[in-house]
Amino acid sequence: MRIRTTPVVIAAGIFLMGLGGTASGQSAPAAPASVTLLAPGMNGVLAWPTTSYALDTGPLGKWYVDAALTGLAFGQTNTLSADRSGAADLSNGQVFLQKVDGWWQFYVQAGAYSIPVIGAPYAPNDVDHALNNYYGVAPQAFLKLAPTDNTYIEAGKLPALIGAESTFTFENMNVQRGLLWNEEPAVSRGVQAGITLGPVTVNVSLNDGFYSNRYTWITGSAAWTINATNTLTLAAGGNTGSTAYSSIATPVVQNNSSIYNIIYTYNAPPFIITPYLQWQHAESNAKLGFLKNTDAWSGALLVSYAVNGAISFAGRVEYISTGGSASDGAANFLYGPGSNAFTATVTPTYAWKRFYIRPELSYVAAASITPGEAFGKNGTNKNQFRGLLEAGVLF
C-alpha cells in the first residue's frame, strides 16, 4: 500500500510577501472579498480570510497571495517497523500566488507540506523525501487560458479530477486523507480543458496519472449543480497504456487501473454532507505481476456540522473491498489481494480569525489481509488507532 507524504523547503521571500509585505517592504492592499481564487479548494470547515493580499503588477494585473503555516503531532498503535509510534512535524508551510482574472491566469503553490493518510505510515518531513520521491518544491502550478467566461484550458501540475477529498490537510473536513483518497491520483502533470453549460461543468484532461511522467492517462468529470444546495458529480479516469514505472508517489497497481466516482454533495449550513462511491479496475498484466482482472469497490460518507462560527465537528466513515486472493495472482490494492478495510475518523475544529486547532481520532480495521501487508512490526495486526492534533494559521 502506498503512502503519499511530501515535505519541501519554503520559498522564504514569497512567504514574507504572503504575510503582507511587497518586495519593496510596503504593505500590499487587500483584495476585494468577491475575488474567487483558482486554488487551493476548501472542501471542509476551514476557510481563507475574507480578503487576500493583492500585488498590483501594473500591465500584468493583480496577483493574489495567501499562505498556510500549520503543524501537527500524532501517536498511534500497532506501528509498522518502517513507521514511528508518534511524532511532531510541520504539516504546511506553503505560499499560494495566483492571477485570477483576464484571458490569462496562473497558479503557483510552493513550500513545505506533509500529507498524513489514515492506515498508512507517516513519512518524515525532510527535503530528501520530497525532492526525490514526491511532487517537489511546487506541488501544484499551472497556466490557465480563459478565452470566454465559460471555457478554459490549463497546463502544468494539476489537482486530479478524481475523488471527493483534496490533497492538503487544511483543505478538508478531516486532517488525514482517507483510504479512498489513497487509491486516487492526487497531482498529475498534463493539460486540462473545461466548459460550463448552464448548471453543468465538464472537464477533461490528458495527464500522467499518479505522477508517473508517462502521459497515458485520460480523466474527466461532469458536475451538475442542481441548485444552491445540491451537486452531483461523475468522474472517471484510467491508464490507456501500460506503465511499469514505480515510485512512492506512483504505485504500479493504481497507476495501471481505471477508476470511477459518483459523488453527491449537500451543502446547507450548518451541514455539509458528501457520500460517494468508487469502483477501481486493474486489467490482468503478466509483465506487471497481475495474473487476473481485479476490482476494488469502496464507499465513503463525509459529514460536517458547524455549531457556530468558531466550532464545528466533522466525521468520515469508509469501506473498501478488493477482489482476488494472495494465491490467484490478483492485484494488491490494499493490505494484500482480497483484503478489505473499514475506517472511522472524527475531527472537531475550533477556528478564530486566521487561526485554527483540530484534534482528530481515527481507526482502521482490516480483514483478509496478507501477512506482512497490514499493521504492527510484522504487518500481521489488523487494526490501528491514531490520535492527531493540527494547529495553524491561514494568511
d(C-alpha 136, C-alpha 7), whole Å: 8
Residue linked to cell 444552491: 228
Check residue 10 and give its pLDDT. 33
d(C-alpha 101, C-alpha 62), whole Å: 8
Checking if the pLDDT of 15 tops 50, the result is no
Q: Residue 206 in contact with residue 246, Cβ under 8 Å?
A: no
Does residue 6 lie within any of the structural domains? no
pLDDT digits (tens, 9 = 90+) for 214-225: 999 999 999 999
Please state which of the ranges 39-43, 83-87, 274-278 shows the lowest mean pLDDT.
39-43
d(C-alpha 265, C-alpha 98), whole Å: 27
Check residue 329 and give its pLDDT. 92
Checking if the pLDDT of 311 tops 70, the result is yes
Which grid coordinates are listed for 217?
492517462
Check residue 129 and give its pLDDT. 56
Average pLDDT, the chain: 89
The residue-averaged pLDDT of 15-24 equals: 34
pTM score, whole prediction = 0.89
The residue-averaged pLDDT of 117-125 equals: 83
Residue of higher predicted confidence among 130 and 137:
137
Does residue 2 lie within any of the structural domains? no
Q: Residue 248 in contact with residue 255, Cβ under 8 Å?
A: no
The residue-averaged pLDDT of 207-214 equals: 96
Q: What is the CATH number of the domain that holds 110?
A: 2.40.160.10
Check residue 8 and give its pLDDT. 36
Dihedral sign computed on CA atoms, order 264, 267, 268, 270: positive
The candidate with the shortest Cα–Cα distance to 109, out of 224, 176, 18, 227, is 18
Checking if the pLDDT of 132 tops 80, the result is no
The residue-averaged pLDDT of 234-250 equals: 93
d(C-alpha 271, C-alpha 291), whole Å: 45
Residue of higher predicted confidence among 274 and 36:
274
Does residue 241 lie within any of the structural domains? yes
Check residue 326 and give its pLDDT. 86
Check residue 31 and give its pLDDT. 44
Checking if the pLDDT of 249 tops 70, the result is yes
The candidate with the shortest Cα–Cα distance to 260, out of 191, 180, 316, is 180
Checking if the pLDDT of 189 tops 90, the result is yes
Secondary structure string (H, E, C) spanning the chain: CCCCCCCCCCCHHHHHHHCCECCCCCECCECCCCCCCCCCCCCCCCCCCCCCEEEECHHHCEEEEEEEEEEEEEEECCCCCCCCCEEEEEEEEEEEEEECCCCEEEEEEEEEECCCECCCCCCCCCHHHHHHHCCCCCCEEEEEEEEECCEEEEEEEEECCCCCCCCCHHHCCCCCECCCHHHCCCEEEEEEEEEEECCEEEEEEEECCCCCCCCCEEEEEEEEECCCCEEEEEEEEEECCCCCCCECCECHHHHCEEEEEEEEEEEECCEEEEEEEEEEEECCEHHHCECCCEEEEEEEEEEEEECCCCEEEEEEEEEEEECCCCCCCCCCCCCCCCCEEEEEEEEEEEEECCEEEEEEEEEEEEECCCCCCCECCCCCECEEEEEEEEEEEEC
Domain with 146 in it = 12-394
Please give the distance of CA 244 from its chain centroid, rounded to a whole number: 24
Burial class of residue 192, CB neighbours in 10 A (0-12, 13-18, 19+): buried
Number of domains in the chain: 1
Checking if the pLDDT of 14 tops 80, the result is no
d(C-alpha 11, C-alpha 134), whole Å: 17
Q: At residue 179, what is the residue type?
A: L
Burial class of residue 142, CB neighbours in 10 A (0-12, 13-18, 19+): buried
pLDDT digits (tens, 9 = 90+) for 343-371: 999 999 999 989 999 999 999 999 999 99
Does residue 1 lie within any of the structural domains? no
The residue-averaged pLDDT of 42-56 equals: 83
Q: What is the CA radius of gyration of the chain?
A: 21
Residue of higher predicted confidence among 338 and 47:
338
- Quote the percentage of the chain above a pLDDT of 70: 89
Checking if the pLDDT of 252 tops 70, the result is yes
Check residue 250 and give its pLDDT. 92
> How does strand 62-76 pair with strand 200-207?
unpaired
Does residue 162 lie within any of the structural domains? yes
Please state which of the ranges 41-45, 132-136, 300-304, 370-374 shows the lowest mean pLDDT.
132-136
Check residue 36 and give its pLDDT. 78
d(C-alpha 160, C-alpha 254), whole Å: 14
Q: How confident is the model at residue 133 (pLDDT cuts 50, 70, 90)?
A: low
d(C-alpha 99, C-alpha 389), whole Å: 33
Those residues whose C-beta lies under 8 Å from the C-beta of residue 309, and which sit 6 or more positions away, are 351
